[in-house]
Amino acid sequence: MNRFFQAIFAAAWAAVSLQAFPDWDDALRQSSDWYGSAEAAQVADSVLAYQTDSGGWPKNLNLAEPPSEAYLTGSEKARYPTIDNGGTTTPLFYLARVNAAQPDAKWRAAMQRGIDYLLEAQYENGGWPQFYPLREGYYSHITYNDNAMVRVMRVLEEVSSGESVWTWVDEATKQQAAAAVEKGIECILATQVRVDGQLTVWCAQHDVETLAPAKARAFELVSLSGGESVEIVRFLMDIETPSPRVVAAIEGAVAWFSKVAIPGMSSELVRDANGERDRILKESPGEDLWARFYEIGTNRPIFVGRDSVVRYELSEIEQERRGGYGYYGSWPKDMISKEYPEWRSRLALQSEGPVLYLVGDSTMADKPRPTTPEKGWGQLLREYALLPLRVDNHARNGRSTKSFIDEGRWDEVVSRLKEGDWVLIQFGHNDEKEHKPSVYAEAHTSYRDNLRRMVRETRAKGANPILATSVARRKWDDAGERMVPTHGDYPLVVRQVAEAEKVPMLEMETLTTALEESKGVEGSKKLHLWFEAGELAIRPEGLSDNTHYSRLGAREVAALAIGEMRRLELPIARYFADALVARDGSGDWDSVEQAIYKAPQGPEGSPRWIIRVKHGEYRERAYVQRERGNIRLVGDSPETTVLVEGIHANMIGPDGKKLGTFRTPTLQVDGEGFQVHSMTIANDAGPVGQALALRVDGDGVVFRDCVFKGWQDTIFVNRGRHYFENCYIEGHVDFIFGGGLSVFENCHIHCLKDGYITAAATPAQQEYGMVFLDCRITGEPGVRTYLGRPWRAHAQTVFVRTEMSEVVRSAGWHNWTGPEREKTARYAEYGSYGEGGDMGERVSWARQLSRKEAKELEVNAIFESGEPVAPFAPKP
C-alpha cells in the first residue's frame, strides 16, 4: 500500500472490532483480519449498491448502510459519480481489501467497472474532472481540490503494479492504468504555475483547455494552493526514477513553500461566547504556518468569504467561513523537514555518478526549517554541485565523531558507499565538550581513532575520504584585531591523521579564521546569526550566535571548501561550479547575462570559470564578450533550465530601424572556448520572420546536451569552429546557417514545417562547413524538408550515417533558385538511412562520399587544421 493511503487508513492496522457501522468512515478503520469477516462482506455488498451505471460512486454518503428508498428516488445530484471527497477511490480501495481477504467475482467486477470509470473520465491532457459524466461549471475543471486527482492517481498506480490487493487485475488494465498515471504526471507538470520564470505550486483547480488556474466555489478563487499542492509534491516524490522535469517540479515547489512560510505563528480553532467556531492566530516561536490560498504574483495570503471578495486578513471575512474552512495549516511541515531530505537522499542512492557524503556537525548540516536564517555550509555546497555528482548531507546538529558512530549514523553512510564515491569528514566542535559524555572524544585518543576508522572504512568500500579541520568560531581578542582559536588540539589531530593516512585535507580552520578577520569585528557578524530583539519572529528575544552561519556565511565557507578541493586538485573538484545563477534570488546572481559579465578575466591558461544555472525560465538575452570566453555554463537540464527571448528581425530597434536578422539572438557568443551544457536556448518569437536563438562568432565553442528552439534561423554559426554534441535543434527555414566550421554529433534535428534545414555560407578556401555525424532527422506530421540550400556559392554541408525520416525530400538538396551554385556548392552524404535516406533520387550535383572519405570525417580530423581539439575534448 502506498504512503498516501497508509496515512489515510493508518488506524486500519490497529486491532479494532466494530459491532455496528454508524458511518462509512468506520469501515476503513479495521484490522487486516477484519476484512475477511462476514461483517466486512455485508458492507462490501452495501458499497456495490451505490455504484452508478457509469461505474463511479457518489460522495458524502454512508456507504456502510444499504441505500434507502429516499436516496434511490431522491435528488439525482446526491447520486452523481465523482472523485471528490473520496468518491469512487475510497470504495475501490475498500472493495480491494475485502476481495483480497475473501475473493468474490462480484466485487472484482465492480472494481473493474470502477477502474474503467476512472480511465474513461481522464481528459486527453491527463487531468481529471471533479464529476464524470461532466457537469457544467467548475465541476469540469482539472481538480486537485481536496486531493481528488492525486487520490485517483494513487489508486491507478497501485492497480498498475498488480501487487498486494490488486493481483487479480489483468495485464491490459494494468498497462492502461500505468499509461493514465504517466499522462497524469504530464498534466501535473504542465499545470505547475510559473511566476516570473520560477516554478511555484498549483491552484486547487485548472482550466481543462488552457491549463491556467481556475475559480471554483465563491470562496475558492484563482490562487496558489498551500494545501493541495503538498500532496501533489508527495506524489511526485514517490516516483521511483524521477525525470529532470519531475525533480525541478519538486525543487521549485519546496522552494516556494519555504519562501511563503509564516514564521513563529500557529492557528487555533476556538468557540465564541455563543459556542460558534472561530479561528485565531497566535505567536508560537517554535512553529511555522502556511495559508490555504496565496495570491499569484505577490505570494500574499488571501481570504475569501461567500461574497467572493479578496481580503488580506482572516478577521475581515465572516465568522462562518473563518471557523468552517481551513484557511491556515501546517500541511508542508513534515514534507519539508523530513520527506524532502529523505527524497534527496534517495536520489543520491540512485545516482550512477559519484556521491559526496558529508559527515559532520551543525556547522555543516542542512537546516530544514524554512523560516530559520541558519544554514550549514554543506547545505550551500550542494547548490554548487553539478550533475552527475550528488551531495548527500548526513551532518547533524550536536554530533561528534563519538555520537555519530554510537547512533549508527556512520554505519548508515558506509552501507551506502560505492566505488568512486567521496566522504567529507568534519568534526571537532562537539568532540571537545568534556562536560557532555555522550559526545566527548579526547583529541589524541578516541577522536584520532574515530577519524582513522572513518578513513579506513571509507577506503575499504572503494570510496575516497577527505578530512577537514573544524571551521573557526567567531571569537575576537580584546583588541578586536585577531580571532582567538577555540578548538585546542583537535585541528592538529586532523592534520596528523591526514598526513599519516595520506588523506587530502581541507584547511577550513585557517581559511575561515582569515575570512572572519577580513570582515572585521562588525562585518563578520553578517556571516553568523546576529539579530536584535524583535527582528526575528522565531527568536523574538534576539540572537547572538558566533558559531552557526547565515546564508551568506554558509555560501562563503562552501566557496572556501570548493577552493580547497581545487587547490588539492581532487578529481571531485570538477563537479563544482564557481558561481550560481538562481531565478529565485538564492544564488550569486539571478541573471545569466549578469553571471557571465561578472566572471573573472583570467590570463590565458587560467582554469575555466564554471557557472551553474539552476532550473527556471530566464527571459533575457545574454552576450559573451570576446575576453570572457573561458566559461562553462551548466544548466540543471535542458527540460528545466531555459534561456529564452522573443526578439525578431522586424522589430524596431533603438535607432528607429528594423533590427534585422543578426541583432536578434537570445545568446550571442564572441568569446573563444565558451561552453554550454544541459540548457535550452530558445527564441519564441514564432513565425514572424528571422529570429535567432543562437549566434556564434567565437572559436572553440562547445554545446553539449542542449536544446535549441526557434522558427526561422534558429542557429547562426557565423565564424569559428564549433562542436554540438547530443543536442536537439528545431526550426522551419534555414534553421542552421552560417559560415563557421560546425560539427553536429549525435544530434536530433526536428523540422516544424516545410523548409530547409541548413543554409551554409562556407568560404571557398574553408575545407569544411557543416558536418553532421550520426544524427537523426524528424519532423511534424506531413512536413517535407530539404537538407539544405547554399546561402553562399561555396556552401559545404555533409551528413554522415544520419537517420532520415520521411520528412526529408527525395531530392535532398535545393539550389536556392541559383543553378550556377550547383557548380560550386559542396553537398555530400554517406550512409544515410531511413525513409528519407534513399540516395537514389538525390540531385545530381550532390555526391555520395566513399567509405574512406567518411572515415576521415571524425571530429579530431576535422579540427586538426589549426589548434588540436583540446577545447572540444574534455567532458564535465
- pLDDT given at position 628: 87
Q: Report pLDDT digits (tens) over 291-301.
A: 999 999 999 99
For 536-662, strand residue ranges (E) read: 543-545, 579-581, 609-613, 616-619, 622-624, 631-635, 641-645
**Could you tell me if 142 and 211 are in contact, meaning their C-beta atoms sit under 8 angstroms apart?**
yes
- pLDDT one-digit tens code per residue, 299-346: 999 999 999 999 999 999 998 888 888 899 999 999 999 999 999 999
Same-domain pairing of 160 and 279: no
Q: Known catalytic residue: 734?
A: yes
pLDDT in tens, 690-703: 999 999 999 999 99
Same domain, 524 and 648: no
pLDDT number for residue 29:
78
Note the helical H segments in 362-447.
377-383, 401-406, 409-416
Based on the domain organization, do 639 and 778 belong to the same domain?
A: yes
CA distance 838 to 845: 16
User: 172 near 155, Cβ under 8 Å?
Assistant: no
Out of 345, 363, 398, pick the residue that ends a domain. Answer: 345
pLDDT of residue 351: 87
As a whole-number percent, the residues of the chain with pLDDT over 90 amount to 85
Q: Kindly name the residue from 699, 705, 713, 774 that is annotated as catalytic.
A: 713
Catalytic residue among 392, 421, 588, 734: 734
Average pLDDT, the chain: 92
Q: Which domain holds residue 547?
A: 351-572
Q: Are residues 298 and 425 in the same domain?
A: no
Determine the pLDDT at residue 20. 47
Residue 268 has pLDDT above 80, yes or no: yes
Partnered with residue 789 across adjacent β-strands are none
Q: Give pLDDT, residue 876.
A: 46
What would the pLDDT profile of 521-545 be if each residue is shown by its tens digit? 999 999 999 999 999 999 999 999 9
Is 613 contained in some domain? Answer: no
Mean pLDDT, residues 604-630:
92
Rounded to the nearest 5 degrees, what angle is found at the Cα of 360, between the Cα atoms of 355 and 363?
110
For residue range 142-201, what is the model confidence (pLDDT) as tens digits? 999 999 999 999 999 999 999 989 999 999 999 999 999 999 999 999 999 999 999 999
**Last residue within a domain, chosen from 299, 319, 345:** 345
Distance (Å, whole) CA 536 – CA 540? 5
685, part of any domain: yes
Q: 393 pLDDT exceeds 70?
A: yes
| pTM (two decimals) | 0.91
Distance CA 528, CA 508 (A): 16
Least Cα distance to 731 among 720, 719, 747 occurs for 747
Same domain membership, residue 504 and residue 371: yes
Asked if residue 371 and residue 231 are part of one domain, the reply reads no
258 shares a domain with 176: no
Q: What is the CATH number of the domain that holds 747?
A: 2.160.20.10
CATH of the domain at 60: 1.50.10.20
Together in a domain, 169 and 232:
no
- Region 625-634: what's the mean pLDDT? 92
**338 and 309 inside one domain:** yes
Task: Determine contact, residues 726/747, Cβ cutoff 8 Å.
Answer: yes
Are residues 308 and 272 located together in one domain of the fold? yes
User: In this structure, are 554 and 695 located in the same domain?
Assistant: no
Of 441-445, 654-658, 778-782, give the lowest mean pLDDT range.
Answer: 654-658
Residue 684 lies in a domain: yes
Residues 383, 862: Cα–Cα separation, whole Å: 38
The answer on pLDDT for 603 being more than 90 is: no
Mean pLDDT, residues 823-843: 95
What is the residue whose three cell numbers read 557548380? 823
Quote the pLDDT of residue 16.
Answer: 35
Cα(18)–Cα(33) distance, rounded to whole angstroms?
A: 12
To the query of whether residue 713 is one of the catalytic residues in this protein, the response is yes
Residue 624 in any domain: the answer is no
- 398 in any annotated domain: yes
What integer pLDDT is reported at residue 76 of this predicted model?
A: 85
Residue 23 has a pLDDT of 66
Query: DSSP secondary-structure letter at 690?
Result: B
For the stretch 736-772, pLDDT in tens is: 999 999 999 999 999 999 999 999 999 999 989 999 9
Say whether the peptide bond before residue 354 is cis (omega within 30 degrees of 0). no
Residue 526 within a domain: yes
The string of pLDDT tens digits covering residues 807-817 is 999 999 999 98
pLDDT at 629 over 50: yes
CA distance 270 to 762: 78
Q: What pLDDT does 864 receive?
A: 61
With a CB cutoff of 8 Å and minimum separation 6, the contacts of 478 are none
Question: Distance (Å, rounded) from C-alpha 396 to C-alpha 392?
Answer: 12
Looking at 164, 190, 216, which one is the last position of a domain?
A: 190
Cα–Cα distance list, 847 to 15, 812, 827, 843 (Å)? 80, 11, 6, 9
pLDDT for 22 equals: 44
Helices and strands, number each (H, E), in the chain? 22, 42
Pairing of strands 198-199, 194-195: antiparallel
Number of domains in the chain: 4
Looking at the structure, do residues 159 and 196 belong to the same domain, yes or no? Answer: no
Domain membership of residue 619 (yes or no) is: no
822, exposed or middle or buried, with CB in 10 Å at 0-12, 13-18, 19+? Answer: middle
Q: Is residue 476 within 8 Å of residue 521, measured between CB atoms?
A: yes
The band of 9, judged by pLDDT with boundaries at 50, 70 and 90, is very low
Is residue 166 included in any domain, yes or no? Answer: yes
Q: Which of 11-25, 246-260, 706-720, 812-826 has the lowest mean pLDDT?
A: 11-25
